[in-house]
Structure 1
């Protein structure tokens, strides 16, 4: 399709991929009813690049060709930037979701280091401790949903490793933050009333939650600044307080608050949901489960890492990542996308393309053994300058949680049908919560009692 768009100074020819000729409302309703199924149908009908109208985001181009994905991720942020609306509307103006261009790169440069290198090893003990504490409460031999406990593990781990919270502040935040993030994710797509709102409205309740969060965080900041051991602390809050931008300025309290809340919103539910999917997948693949247990007992990790990669591919928690065209037009392969369009990477579409991942519907961790996935075909964390800065932390967290559970518990296989995909708004979760039945392991396969701090 070729459109001519007349501006004040120039004429830009927009050449768009094919798309459905159905009324916009019909396509929109289909996407709202079942986004994954509708987008898969459109990909199968029109190919790895198609035009459509996505509710909330409007005219959009959806791509699932790794070459196009690479081109989009490498496009200058002045040409294609953060998509609107996004979680930054509720997480704060300094949120990574909201920042663009130089402001985004400025904060990214400051905040990437805490999530890489030797610091990851220091966080492992926190993850294992939280996993053991949570698992100690599980009823043995009875079916449970694993998603809620995984939520608690990842929340507590972030509060300790990222926020540096303990004591009263830890207890308050673990109650407050799930309510704040859940309500905020719902309000992301709802315009804020221009004439104000009452305390009892959703916006009023969210504003109250945010004030409570800011007050608790101020207490944490005050405690950290007065801590004589601040220079040795490895939690991300402490690192933020010690860091400075290139011009020597420190992060403001508002910047710290918005970014900590963003890290929690981006990393808490997605990691927990992936872990619940991992349990769901392993129960239905007992041969892989047996190999993983033997590997844990032998002190290995290669298959476990491959399994994490495969769960993220086979059960993509986030199905789309996007950019908004800011320049008059953006070249993408043979297409020319006009200003104002949203370009979406169909993560689920890429991950389930047989031409990219043979037998893509099959759960097969062996496809990643001894190899690293292509960074433009395996994209659960997005890519380019907007790739999730917590990707390494999330991978470490999932690795430690699975290692600990496989070492301490026997996961009973299941012959039940696969759990369906269920949209929780932000993430796609197993519809039944990743149900599992576990028993404590008395000994490993080598006859050695597992090393555990929980009796």
Structure 2
């Protein structure tokens, strides 16, 4: 029987918002314990919203026609640009997404693996030996340099400008993503600083596009920018300058911070599970990858860096499983709640990569990249990148286990990171390692 809405707290919106801020990782489990796996909240930014964590209802939502429920509002398009995939809806989103799929699959992914390994080796050369250091800043540099090289193909003046600008821009944008934009954009304050960075970014992209067009060798290049300049919509038109700038910013931002944060969590988890760590080292030495890929999946299950994905109801109402959700309501999928559900993942609190060594996760239950038509376009690239970084680290370094308590969750605005940055203690390995290894691309996540 369909009910109007699931139950939920009756406190005023600002009280519920304060509760969410004060208890970001404990609030939702407490609400689920009280109300069940669906409940209604009223919070700042999203307003009235239904939070779900039932696999069947999640699957139904991700498969719902975009005319009935589409892109969540507000979304990251407010910081990534109006032509970003995060901002586009309906047919326009589908049209744009179709052009951006090719560079992150198949042969092109293989071409990027060497880039990721090169950047990892270069960064590890600066790691301190025998003493604790946070791996997150280092992972940020690896993923930023790797995505910059994958997107632009070569280094140069603009590349260096973006390498300096983007970390500051992404950090500030993450913090502002859910903040109200002042009327007229504001002349001072954080939004004014962000818009100034955005203008600087746009100028650098304009120069890069012009330089790339002048080379005349687009069909011989594997980088994303060259592909964008050659791509055409079904009607034969090419991507506009705004399309290119916004989509590149989306790729650079989304393909950088979340992947680096997951790598920091991987280090944090492995140091506290020495049996898994030892098994991974043995596998790397033997040239395998099965346990490594399962471990990356399990890290993303137990330490998802994004809290929520969702949709906004566009129809007059949407029947979703047991509920009838009115127009204008947000439907938020709690990634943490479904990943931590014993009915979905037995003994869910236990870090156990073995649960994925013989099978791939259901993509309506394991959802660190979201789902449906809005599933992260770079999921395969991110999994490949994490696999290569972990493989290279364990091949060249010995990572010390620890008996210290787990690191607390720390919100960076968009991503949830380990509170100490994923503290690592490493030593250089002296034993020779294999000269080559098989492909690490995780095609099951494409």
Name the CA distance, whole Å, in 2 between partners of 1:418 and 1:116.
Answer: 35
2:370 maps to what in 1?
Answer: 382
- Give CA deviations for 1:312-347 in whole Å, capped at 9, x if unaligned: 001111111010011110010021000010000000
| Equivalenced residues, count | 436
Give the SS at the match of 1:389: coil
Partner of residue 383 from structure 2, selected from 387, 395, 405: 395
Name the CA distance, whole Å, in 2 between partners of 1:19 and 1:391.
Answer: 33
2:96 maps to what in 1?
Answer: 107
Q: Check if 1:123 corresponds to 2:109.
A: no
2:293 maps to what in 1?
Answer: 305
Relative distance call for 1:196 and 1:427 in structure 2 (3 A) is closer
How many angstroms does 1:196 deviate by? 5.2
Name the CA distance, whole Å, in 2 between partners of 1:184 and 1:352.
Answer: 29
2:155 maps to what in 1?
Answer: 166
1:356 maps to what in 2?
Answer: 344
1:81 maps to what in 2?
Answer: 70
Name the CA distance, whole Å, in 2 between partners of 1:62 and 1:204.
Answer: 33
Q: Check if 1:251 corresponds to 2:239.
A: yes
Name the CA distance, whole Å, in 1 between partners of 2:256 and 2:416.
Answer: 14
Instruction: Please say if residues 175 and 412 of structure 2, whose CA atoms lie closer than 8 Å, have aligned partners that are also in contact.
Output: no
2:126 maps to what in 1?
Answer: 137
Q: Check if 1:59 corresponds to 2:48.
A: yes
1:186 maps to what in 2?
Answer: 175
Partner of residue 28 from structure 1, selected from 3, 17, 33: 17
2:35 maps to what in 1?
Answer: 46
* Larger Rg, first or second structure (1 or 2): 1
- Give CA deviations for 1:326-381 in whole Å, capped at 9, x if unaligned: 11100100210000100000000000001110111110000001201011110000
Name the CA distance, whole Å, in 2 between partners of 1:230 and 1:355.
Answer: 50
Structure 1 gaps, min length 5? 3-13
Instruction: Please say if residues 32 and 55 of structure 1, whose CA atoms lie closer than 8 Å, have aligned partners that are also in contact.
Output: no
Instruction: Please say if residues 421 and 429 of structure 1, whose CA atoms lie closer than 8 Å, have aligned partners that are also in contact.
Output: yes
Structure 1 length normalisation: TM-score? 0.93
Q: Check if 1:290 corresponds to 2:278.
A: yes
Q: Check if 1:438 corresponds to 2:413.
A: no
Give the SS at the match of 1:36: coil
Structure 2 length normalisation: TM-score? 0.95
Give the SS at the match of 1:433: coil
Name the CA distance, whole Å, in 2 between partners of 1:428 and 1:186.
Answer: 12
Structure 2 gaps, min length 5? 437-446
Q: CA RMSD in A?
A: 1.5
Comparing 222-231 with 118-127, greater Cα deviation is found at: 222-231
Name the CA distance, whole Å, in 1 between partners of 2:66 and 2:433.
Answer: 53
2:439 maps to what in 1?
Answer: none
Instruction: Please say if residues 163 and 260 of structure 1, whose CA atoms lie closer than 8 Å, have aligned partners that are also in contact.
Output: no
